[in-house]
Chains A and B, each alone.
Chain A
Amino acid sequence: MASSQEPKKSDSQDLLKSVLQENHAAVRRFLRYLTRGSLPAEDLAQEVVLRAMNAKKIPDTESEIMTWLFRIARNLVIDEVRKAKRWREKEIPIASHDDSSEGVLPLPVPSVARQRVGIREMENILAEALEDLDEHSMELVTLRFFGGLSTSEIAKTQSLPVGTVCAKIFRATKKMKIFLEEKGYAFSELEPGE
């Protein structure tokens, strides 16, 4: 019995590894949005990999693994934010009032790509728009745009009709667009050299 399960576990581990390799950047980007750059996304992405590799049960298909990874990432951020909040509550009474970084986590050094003017502001406002969505819509948007899953793959993992998935994603993008408009932003194309 044990010998028949071993190859199955090994197969799912291999699938997990290949999904992680292909989507590591997507998970890191998702984490960067969720933390708004206040926590090192690279470290959190590594933690997601560790948690996934040490899990007792791994989903069977690629799209289910993607859904599962983004959930791990989201839960991890919630844990880290709670920890950071406890840390701040502990530290603030001791810190000097003159210290401008009081209660604020250190920001990571931006990469070359992110030094472009307006990227930080854009990421912050998009993170707000994303957080404004309900949990289910946020998951669908995450799977479609961060994870790059097709609507039929999402429909399968969520046990929903494809039409409903499309409708819900469009409703979510419309809401995010309205959120951006209400904050005074509009989409724009960037010039090639910009």
Chain B
Amino acid sequence: MMNSQIPDMCERAAEPILSGEWESLRSSDPIRSHINSCRECQGRIQEVRFFGEVFSTDEPRVGLQRKSPGRAPIQLPTPAKEAKTPWLIPTFKVASIAVAACFVAILAWNAFQPAGIGRVASLDGEATVRRFGSRTSEPLGEGALVHRGDLVRTEPNSRLHLRLEESNDVFLNESTEVRLEAKRLLHHNTGETWFEIAKGNGEFEVETRGADVLVLGTSFGTRYQEDEVLVPVTSGRVRVLTKGGEVEIDPGQVGVYSSSKPFLPPVVRTNPPQNLRPSWLSSSNGERSE
């Protein structure tokens, strides 16, 4: 019950947040109390305040700060006043500088490494990953870390189970390609996927050709089929947005939209012909209970 209410409340809170009127709502107002307790809405308030401020005034009261770790101070040895072994000083200097340089290089390398947002939980067959900023793909094995910006692809007759942060599970059928944009944002390029999204961690979003799929604590899939994309839902509620409109899909229904004509509105099939949970998912991948 709560699960279906939360997106509605976020939706009702959207306009007050965008207009800034949420601050004048009384504390007893259900929208105000929802905003106070919802991480997604708090994030939206922060984004609206920041972009509203920087784009609407010449002297914004907000700014940006670099998130990279501060440089480690390089400790150079203080020269001995009365050195008994003068040959040691240049050696010590060189060694210290080399150690400090290594330290700084390690820090810099770590800073440029994208943070892992999940791991390969299981792999049946072969899969590859093209790391963010790399032009070549590398094979993916069980337990391997995946990062933001990674392009993951499964080969024919292969299945992959990714466990993302916040216990969100992503299952990839054969010949499927997804890009991990963020821990709760994924771009599905080709093939077929299935998602088991944990409750209580805010909105999870799947971008596809033609539409965006927004969910909150659900089990659902996305599958390219000729010119169409199918979104079967087995639990929770899923919202599909195309440029032509949006629909909400309840459990037992399938959302359908065109992957080549984004201005067509999505439709809901209420009597799907077959079991919505794909047969390629192994029985061990238990569906989340409501």
Q: What distance in Å separates the Cβ of A192 from its nearest Cβ neighbour in chain B?
A: 9
For A148, the closest partner residue in chain B by CB is: B56
Question: Which one of A144, A146, A188 lies within 8 Å of B65 (CB-CB)?
Answer: A188
A184 contacts B67, CB within 8 Å? yes
Question: Which one of A170, A177, A182 lies within 8 Å of B14 (CB-CB)?
Answer: A170
Indicate if A94 sits at the interface (CB-CB under 8 A). no
Given known A-B contacts A113-B58, A146-B56, A150-B19, A180 and B64 have beta carbons under 8 A apart = yes
Q: What distance in Å separates the Cβ of B214 from its nearest Cβ neighbour in chain A?
A: 8
Which chain A residues lie closer than 8 Å to B243 at the CB level?
Answer: 136
Give the CA-CA distance A25 to B149 in the complex, in Å.
37
For A147, the closest partner residue in chain B by CB is: B56
Number of interface residues of A (CB under 8 A): 48
Indicate if A125 sits at the interface (CB-CB under 8 A). yes
Indicate if B62 sits at the interface (CB-CB under 8 A). yes
By secondary structure, the A interface counts as helix
B18 contacts A178, CB within 8 Å? no
Q: Interface-forming stretch among B23-31, B41-49, B167-175, B273-281? A: B41-49
Number of interface residues of B (CB under 8 A): 40
A186 contacts B64, CB within 8 Å? yes
Given known A-B contacts A173-B48, A185-B67, A25 and B14 have beta carbons under 8 A apart = no
Q: What distance in Å separates the Cβ of A157 from its nearest Cβ neighbour in chain B?
A: 16
Which chain A residues lie closer than 8 Å to B43 at the CB level?
Answer: 174, 177
Indicate if A53 sits at the interface (CB-CB under 8 A). no
Give the CA-CA distance A168 to B211 in the complex, in Å.
12
B182 contacts A144, CB within 8 Å? no
A189 contacts B61, CB within 8 Å? yes
Q: What distance in Å separates the Cβ of A39 from its nearest Cβ neighbour in chain B?
A: 17
Indicate if B51 sits at the interface (CB-CB under 8 A). yes
Which chain A residues lie closer than 8 Å to B58 at the CB level?
Answer: 25, 29, 111, 113-114
Given known A-B contacts A146-B56, A170-B14, A170-B44, A186 and B246 have beta carbons under 8 A apart = no
Give the CA-CA distance A32 to B246 in the complex, in Å.
35
B62 contacts A189, CB within 8 Å? yes
Q: Which of A151, A162, A187 has the most CB of B within 10 A?
A: A187
Question: Which one of B111, B149, B241 lies within 8 Å of A182 (CB-CB)?
Answer: B149
Indicate if A169 sits at the interface (CB-CB under 8 A). yes
Which chain A residues lie closer than 8 Å to B246 at the CB level?
Answer: 163-164, 167
Given known A-B contacts A173-B48, A187-B50, A187-B62, A145 and B55 have beta carbons under 8 A apart = yes
Give the CA-CA distance A48 to B14 in the complex, in Å.
33
For A114, the closest partner residue in chain B by CB is: B58
A146 contacts B55, CB within 8 Å? yes
Indicate if A176 sits at the interface (CB-CB under 8 A). yes
Which chain A residues lie closer than 8 Å to B181 at the CB level?
Answer: 178
Indicate if B52 sits at the interface (CB-CB under 8 A). yes
Question: Which one of B15, B51, B55 lies within 8 Å of A166 (CB-CB)?
Answer: B15
Question: Which one of B14, B44, B51, B65 lies within 8 Å of A176 (CB-CB)?
Answer: B51
Q: What distance in Å separates the Cβ of A22 from its nearest Cβ neighbour in chain B?
A: 13
Indicate if A126 sits at the interface (CB-CB under 8 A). yes
A122 contacts B66, CB within 8 Å? no
Give the CA-CA distance A34 to B50 in the complex, in Å.
18
B18 contacts A188, CB within 8 Å? no
Which chain B residues lie closer than 8 Å to A190 at the CB level?
Answer: 60-63
Give the CA-CA distance A141 to B217 in the complex, in Å.
29
Give the CA-CA distance A13 to B14 in the complex, in Å.
35
Which chain B residues lie closer than 8 Å to A93 at the CB level?
Answer: none
Indicate if A118 sits at the interface (CB-CB under 8 A). yes
Which chain A residues lie closer than 8 Å to B60 at the CB level?
Answer: 190
Which chain B residues lie closer than 8 Å to A14 at the CB level?
Answer: none
Q: What distance in Å separates the Cβ of B189 from its nearest Cβ neighbour in chain A?
A: 17
Q: What distance in Å separates the Cβ of B62 from its nearest Cβ neighbour in chain A?
A: 6
12 A-B pairs besides A174-B43, A186-B65 with CB distance below 8 A are A119-B63, A125-B64, A150-B19, A151-B18, A167-B214, A177-B47, A178-B182, A184-B67, A185-B66, A186-B66, A186-B67, A187-B46
Query: Could you list 30 examples of A-B contacts with CB < 8 Å?
Result: A29-B56, A30-B55, A118-B63, A122-B54, A136-B243, A141-B51, A145-B56, A150-B19, A151-B15, A151-B18, A151-B19, A163-B14, A166-B11, A167-B11, A167-B214, A167-B241, A167-B246, A173-B47, A173-B51, A176-B51, A178-B181, A181-B67, A182-B149, A185-B65, A185-B66, A186-B65, A187-B62, A188-B62, A190-B60, A190-B62
